[in-house]
Structure 1
């Protein structure tokens, strides 16, 4: 009997070591990707100058400006946004009991797009400008704070609707997902209706905002996103055992003293608000919240003691690599990272579905 217990203990410790090794490997890969992100761009910079700019923030010059004010904020935005989407996706898939649950599929991103379009078209937050006489006009957002505020309000509308539906008795988690799909379609139709009555400048500005673009983030935006990510991660980390109990079903969780309904509502609220802040600042970045948790589960399983951090690191790594690709495909043009994540995510997710079915 003792030998059996010893064998089980060794197997358990081996499993924990494997999960810790995976998280450590993700952290190392993320560090390497961050270094590559600082090095990647239309302006080639020596590694020595990059390290010097990072070590001494009093340094002035072209290299210091490019690293400290352009590439480093962009890299930080990729890590923070990817982490927030990964955490939110992992939690939503558990509390809604649906592997297709993600910020993109429940209407949060589409609600933000509607809010931004409303600000640009009805409140005059979009404009054109030209660099010099005779130069071609370029679209820009003239009132970015107003656009962010309206985008956040649109996300909150989607969150409140989903929370209201989830709080009703007799409503299944599958119905919540279907309601999210319907809500996405509704916000999409409302956005198109606004664009139909807008002029060319307003349409171009609203479409420009919907592109997920990490270049929109400065240090102020990164700080605000980082605060929400840290708060949400701390909340979910404290409740990791409740998330594990929920894996066994609502009845088992309730028998352990967990208020399942309250847990579902608060978890959805924290995850959706985190995504709302990220989407309001950076635009729509699809597929990361859906993809990162599934990739992490292949290595750490469903144990939320490890899945939360692994999903965050996986999401950050995926988004950072996608941004590096977006800057490298056709330099000096920088593609919106949302395009890259959608192109890469769709076939990868289909591959995972077929692999899980075979297993």
Structure 2
């Protein structure tokens, strides 16, 4: 009788645990679906915000080919590419940040803290100053500084963002006892190095090129055309495939390197490949739109409050949250003192800096 009682009791407990697990997973799925719907609604609203407000009905008619000529020009040529660029860049930066935080076991890891963004900024400054990528347009005060050779600037920004990535990976490979906090400090050193290089380039340049460099570092979503959006979409899709494929590896690594290795995971190889893909993805995003800081830091931590550290859901939800944050920031920048558009990089920095300090003080010596 005792044996039968114990078996029945264990069976009921197992069923209760299974039901609780299903409810937990269902809640994560609901959060992801709701967040996606909210992002779509906010994106449609953002397309309508500007010097001329456009209704959502007119936006939908134009997207499906039934709008008038003016709406097609404004929506399809200017506003929709800007919003889609915000979605893709936000998703790229946030998923990169989530993966970096996992493989480095450091919640402060992101493209901004590892020197990738600063390397891209130095590359852009080099492209503008050394290769004539920037120009001052005195004919229009509203757009006094423009990037007249965006492909040179983009290429240089990507190359130096990639160089920063390679340096970080090389340090982790050859200095195997450096640890996650050491890599963050290496990123800080790289950031300082590239910032110093950018300052020297500007010191020996003229006012017009300095203005172009400053303009690029503000961050500008409006410069992305459909060609750039296609590249961003391909990079995002490829990186997401790899991240989702390795979701169980990330879940294991979240419990520590020893636990992951005991499960047969090559943690060093996973870390290096994941760091390479996430950093290069962030470099691509930054090279097209300029410096947009802290999205990769903020979005993953917000979603951890709702879905936990389960990377089956954290990676896609971070992508959606990053897209939503950047679209909201861009909408705010377009509407707060319209028709003037505030720089998106400044807005995201205002959002991210308090979160960075909160994590730093909460972590104490762990992240020092």
Name the TM-score, length of structure 2 as normaliser: 0.92
Deviation at 1:303, TM superposition (A): 0.6
Q: Could you report, residue by residue, the CA deviation over 1:243-294 in whole angstroms, capped at 9, with x for unpaired residues?
A: 1111121122112211111111000011011111100000010010000000
State yes or no: 1:288 paired with 2:295.
Answer: yes
Q: Is the 8 A contact 1:296 1:311 kept in 2?
A: yes
Partners of 1:235 and 1:219 lie apart in 2 by 25
Deviation at 1:130, TM superposition (A): 3.2
State yes or no: 1:157 paired with 2:166.
Answer: no
**SS of alignment partner, residue 77 of structure 1:** helix
Partners of 2:283 and 2:128 lie apart in 1 by 18
**SS of alignment partner, residue 188 of structure 2:** helix
Deviation at 1:348, TM superposition (A): 4.8
Q: Could you report, residue by residue, the CA deviation over 1:301-329 in whole angstroms, capped at 9, with x for unpaired residues?
A: 10101100111111011000000000011
Partners of 2:143 and 2:51 lie apart in 1 by 23
State yes or no: 1:118 paired with 2:126.
Answer: yes
**Cα distance change, pair 348–36 in 1 and its aligned pair in 2 (3 A):** farther
Partners of 2:133 and 2:189 lie apart in 1 by 28
Q: How does 1:171-190 map to 2 (within 5 A)?
A: 171-190=178-197
CA RMSD, Structure 1 to Structure 2 (Å) = 1.8
Deviation at 1:136, TM superposition (A): 9.3
Deviation at 1:347, TM superposition (A): 3.1
**Cα distance change, pair 351–142 in 1 and its aligned pair in 2 (3 A):** same
Q: Is the 8 A contact 2:136 2:211 kept in 1?
A: no
Q: Equivalent residue for 1:75?
A: 83
Partners of 1:136 and 1:346 lie apart in 2 by 29
**SS of alignment partner, residue 170 of structure 1:** coil
Q: Is the 8 A contact 1:130 1:136 kept in 2?
A: no
Q: Equivalent residue for 1:199?
A: 206
Deviation at 1:356, TM superposition (A): 9.1
**Cα distance change, pair 153–349 in 1 and its aligned pair in 2 (3 A):** closer
Partners of 1:352 and 1:114 lie apart in 2 by 28
Name the TM-score, length of structure 1 as normaliser: 0.95
Return structure 1 stretches of 4+ with deviation > 4 angstroms. 348-357
Q: Equivalent residue for 1:20?
A: 29
Q: Equivalent residue for 1:99?
A: 107
Q: Which runs of 5+ in 1 are unaligned?
A: none
**SS of alignment partner, residue 2 of structure 1:** helix
**SS of alignment partner, residue 193 of structure 2:** helix
Q: Could you report, residue by residue, the CA deviation over 1:200-244 in whole angstroms, capped at 9, with x for unpaired residues?
A: 011101111111111111111111011001100000101111111
Aligned length: 354
State yes or no: 1:34 paired with 2:43.
Answer: yes
Q: Is the 8 A contact 1:326 1:340 kept in 2?
A: yes
Q: Equivalent residue for 2:4?
A: none
**Cα distance change, pair 26–47 in 1 and its aligned pair in 2 (3 A):** closer
Q: Is the 8 A contact 2:107 2:359 kept in 1?
A: no
Partners of 2:86 and 2:195 lie apart in 1 by 26
Q: Which runs of 5+ in 2 are unaligned?
A: 1-9
